[in-house]
Structure 1
């Protein structure tokens, strides 16, 4: 016959379910020593989130920060001439995944950049796992996490092609451009984890929204011209790497013109957002501050002979600029329950 049994003594605790007596013995009962029992763990942290919690938000921020940081490490590879510090891919050198002593500091710098890719990949996978239970309710967040994870793999492949083609300047430029896109996607993820799901409505006048989108286009043009300018300049990543063959001095001017146009458009956005008391005005202020710093760094590097440190800072700031512009565009809309709180007079003030 079967029946429940529970026996406790000073040495051991046995906890058994239903067992069957067979010839006077109990089968299946396990004894757990009190001294070996593990500390209790809050079951909340053993489950995947069913709502957006701190874990998801932290991973989203880590994704954005590391996507920007890898541009800095990638810039260090190019600016120190370490582009071929690991001359093969996916290994660093033949039969070794890590740099050997013969590769020197250049091998260390290039390998550190590859390790950064691995860290970003781990964070991207963590985001996908944490959002797994929410993949139906928050399809937007899950899709963004999957895109970021796929982007890490794609960037690793592009990085391999970059090495195998001897740092072709166009592929290097494409590599950097994809990194900028990844920064923008990570920015969207960070923004969305703080918003309620559901339909969103515009919280600014239509004219302001069109001007913001036009500004974002000019920002993208400025960054792309900067990528082409860098690909034509002296920092190739290796002494034997080729250049585009374009006139770098002319490209510097072509890069500066849309940069100044971006500044003018942003000032107009700021004036309109302040006059209309629009909720996006704080993001426009941030965008303007970043642009001013970027312009100062750009002028300094152009007049000081392109020192590597300033060039690297200019590259990182380009990512921060792209993220700030993305936030401005994202905040043109808000969930419908929030838009109801925005006074209509704000729209009328902008129109006037």
Structure 2
């Protein structure tokens, strides 16, 4: 006899946990930005311990030690949520195909991202490593978003909602969005917010690399506007709405970016810009995912009655 699941998890609870995982991973990006923007990047000067003799901060380390150690503790909270999502996926019935690899990927991505964070400390906040640490967080957020969307879908076949050329346009827009995030880390590595007063910079000219970043943003907005009108032209209302959300997020992020640049990068605006980067990523993935949908699986044909099968054989 097939054993039943003792603690079944509802679809609603699974969706909420998956959404909580997205929010938690975005939050730790923002708090990680706060560490850097308060010059607390070396508040704990080593890793995995906070000092050579202690895993926790000490009174002598002051507020910078508290901020850095607090961010490290948040990693455990994010990991607990990710573990809860994995257990919920295992307990949910019927389990959606592909959800378990995504949930496990998010779970293992968190310690991997933490190790990169430790390497940033051990390399005295090398700006290239700091940038990679941020991009690793973006990858985990992307996986968490994919899981959240997948648990809301049926297990049927994937069907495009727009013609193939427009799906290609959506993929190009996603690639440009990713490149803007990468170049954004170069801009950060050339700017004044090193995370510690003694940390090195990447040596790039801040004005020049900021212009490259701005050019990428203009291209991204142009592609997003093109997507919106193209989706509307083919009657893909859901995809057009997703593109409109992406444009709105990009414009808001662009305004923050320009204001922070011309006001000498105040820490509060830089932190808001980091949050905006996460939102741009999520909106981009939303627009890409709107170019397809997963239909319910076709019901299985009922088995023929035994008498009918005997008659057919005769």
- State TM-score, norm by structure 2: 0.89
The CA distance in 1 between the partners of 2:195 and 2:296, in whole Å, is 51
3-state SS, counterpart of residue 121 of structure 2 = helix
CA distance in 2, matches of 1:337, 1:74: 41
2-structure distance, mates of 1:48, 1:157 = 34
> Contact 1:135/1:142 (CA < 8 Å) preserved in 2?
no
- Contact in 2 for aligned 1:188/1:327 (Cα 8 Å): no
For the Cα contact (< 8 Å) 2:161–2:291, is it kept in 1? yes
Q: CA deviation at 1:333?
A: 1.0
- Higher gyration radius (CA): 1
CA contact (8 A) 2:127 2:202 kept: yes
Residues 242-295 of structure 1 show CA distances to partners (whole Å, capped at 9, x for unaligned) of 111111110000000010011111111111222333121111111010000011
Query: What corresponds to 2:144 in structure 1?
Result: 186
Pair 1:298 & 2:257 matched: yes
The count of residues paired between Structure 1 and Structure 2 equals 293
Mark the CA change 1:245 to 1:190 in structure 2 (over 3 Å): closer, same or farther: same
- Higher RCO structure (Cα 8 Å, ≥6 apart): 2
1:47 match: 7
2:68 counterpart residue number: 110
Cα RMSD between the aligned structures? Answer: 1.8
Secondary structure of the residue aligned to 2:293 is: strand
TM-score, length-normalised on structure 1?
0.80
The alignment status of 1:122 with 2:86, answered yes or no, reads no
CA–CA distance in 2 between the matches of 1:180 and 1:322?
A: 8
Point out where structure 2 has 5 or more consecutive residues left out of the alignment. Answer: 298-314
Shift of 1:136: 8.8
Look up the SS of the partner of 1:201 in the other structure.
strand
Q: Which moved more, 1:271-280 or 1:301-310?
A: 271-280
Of the three residues 267, 283, 291, the one matched with 1:308 is 267
More helix by share: 2
2:300 maps to: none
Structure 1: runs of 5+ lacking an equivalent: 1-43, 339-352
Tell me the CA shift for residue 46 of structure 1: 6.2
Q: CA offsets per residue over residues 283-336 of structure 1, 9 Å max, x none?
A: 111101000001100100110001111111111111110011011111211123
Other structure's SS at 1:280 match: helix
For residues 24-43 of structure 1, what are the structure 2 equivalents within 5 Å?
Answer: none
